[in-house]
Every structure is written in structure tokens, then in C-alpha cells.
């Protein structure tokens, strides 16, 4: 369910982000936004991505409204199933319906604002670096390291937020850090090996027969398991030893 709703939220989130960034100017093949979308969709030719971004920005108002409505439904459902998964890990019940949806809405708004600000800063930041320090941004190793560091920070902040806010347990921020660090490392690694996975999917007749949505769904399923495993790690660190010591030894 986590992978399913993550897949449903991916497209409207992209459309909404592009609509909000319509005023930043026309994209090119070297723009920050286009490169970030290329990382998420490595199989897609960059010319098609540029064409898509320009089309969305030309129809920013209509697509923004549609994207926002669909994103609201998909993202609220995504956060709800994340809450259920984390509460199962901790053996806790879900919150009341309105309370849970309110927290999910707060996380959605916070995630969207953070995404918009990050893309905006990234777009202008890359241009500033090109103007004032071209030697820095033109270095492939430095540019790659900076991209990985920034995206890792965003992933880490998101994971800490969902662990801390959605779990119906009295937690401190430091209680969720081990699982968040673990999940961030694995998720960032998955982003780097995604092209390898796509190449494997091209030669796997089963995955290739279902097309790109199925391939993306499999990848999201793996990432969903990483998030749940991070929550398991946090639970084990807090309660695992106690549960192990309380288990009866021998036969009654």
C-alpha cells in the first residue's frame, strides 16, 4: 500500500512543483530542475523532459489545480498507510480519523513547501555558482557530491518527520535517528543503483512486459520496505531488549 500510494502521488507532485515554478523561466537541458527529473526518470530522453516541463509550465494554472487535488488525496492516503505501518511496528493503535488526517495534511503541506523552496534555491543557486564560481559547478565530482549531499539531507529530514509525527508513541527526535540514518543511507544508495535496476528490467521479460509503471512500483516497494525496516530498528533499540528478556525460557 505504501508503494501504491507513493506511485499515485509521484505524478501530481511533479506537476504541482512544475506549476509553482512556472515563473522561474523556461527550462533548458542544463537546468537544475530538468536534471533532477532526469534522475527520477533516467530512461526518459532529456529532450522529452524539457518538452514536458515547458508544456506543464504553459498550462500551470489548470495543471496546478488538478495536481493539487489529486495530490491531496494520494498523499493523505500515503501518510495514513505509513502511520498504520509504523503503529503496527510499535504495537499501537491508529489515532482518531480526523486527528490522523490532520497530521497527514500538516506533513503534506510541509513537504510541498520544502520541495518548492529546495527547487527554487537549487535553480537559482546553480545559476549563481555558474556566474561566480564556474570552476566549482563544472567539476563533475564536486557537482555530484553536492547533489548527493543535498538530496540526502532532504531525505533524512522527511524520514525523521514521518517517524516522529506519524508514530502513535511518545518519541523524542533522538529516538528516531538510528532508523532515519539507516533508511536515508539505503534510500540514497537505491537512487544511485536505479539505472542498474532499469537496465536489468530491460532484459527481464516479465518486468518489461508491464512497462515503466510496474518497474517504478517495484522500486517503490523496495523503498517502502526500507522505511518500515527503519521503524523496526527504532523499536528494537527502544524495546527489543526488554521484549527479549521477558520471553519465557523453557517449557511450562
C-beta of residue 191 within 8 angstroms of C-beta of residue 123: no
Q: Is the pTM of this model over 0.75?
A: no
Lowest mean pLDDT among 137-146, 166-175, 214-223: 137-146
Q: Whole-angstrom Cα distance, residue 18 to residue 16?
A: 5
User: 92 or 201, which is more confident?
Assistant: 92
| pLDDT, position 85 | 93
Q: How many whole angstroms separate alpha carbon 246 and alpha carbon 252?
A: 15
Structure confidence at residue 252 (pLDDT): 44
pLDDT in tens, 33-58: 556 555 555 556 667 666 766 666 66
Distances in whole angstroms, Cα of residue 94 to Cα of each of 83, 236, 240, 248: 7, 20, 21, 29
Amino acid at each position: 500500500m505504501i508503494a501504491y500510494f507513493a506511485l499515485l502521488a509521484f505524478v501530481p507532485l511533479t506537476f504541482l512543483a512544475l506549476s509553482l515554478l512556472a515563473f522561474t523561466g523556461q527550462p533548458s537541458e542544463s537546468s537544475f530542475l530538468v536534471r533532477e527529473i532526469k534522475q527520477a526518470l533516467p530512461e526518459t530522453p532529456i529532450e522529452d523532459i524539457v518538452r514536458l516541463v515547458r508544456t506543464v509550465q504553459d498550462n500551470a494554472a489548470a495543471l496546478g489545480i488538478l495536481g493539487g487535488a489529486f495530490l491531496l488525496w494520494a498523499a493523505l492516503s500515503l501518510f495514513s498507510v505509513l502511520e498504520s505501518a509504523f503503529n503496527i511496528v510499535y504495537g499501537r493503535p491508529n489515532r482518531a480519523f480526523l486527528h490522523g488526517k490532520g497530521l497527514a495534511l500538516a506533513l503534506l503541506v510541509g513537504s510541498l513547501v520544502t520541495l518548492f523552496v529546495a527547487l527554487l534555491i537549487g535553480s537559482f543557486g546553480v545559476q549563481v555558482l555558474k556566474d561566480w564560481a564556474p570552476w566549482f559547478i563544472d567539476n563533475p565530482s564536486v557537482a555530484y557530491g553536492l547533489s548527493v549531499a543535498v538530496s540526502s539531507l532532504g531525505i533524512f529530514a522527511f524520514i525523521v518527520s514521518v517517524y516522529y509525527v506519524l508514530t502513535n508513541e511518545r518519541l523524542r527526535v533522538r529516538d528516531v535517528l538510528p532508523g532515519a540514518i539507516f533508511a536515508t543511507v539505503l534510500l540514497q544508495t537505491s537512487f544511485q543503483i536505479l539505472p542498474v535496476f532499469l537496465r536489468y528490467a530491460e532484459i527481464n521479460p516479465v518486468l518489461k512486459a508491464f512497462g515503466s509503471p510496474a518497474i517504478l512500483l517495484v522500486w517503490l516497494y523496495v523503498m517502502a520496505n526500507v522505511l518500515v525496516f527503519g521503524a523496526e530498528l527504532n523499536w528494537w533499540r527502544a524495546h527489543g531488549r526488554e521484549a527479549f528478556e521477558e520471553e519465557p525460557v523453557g517449557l511450562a
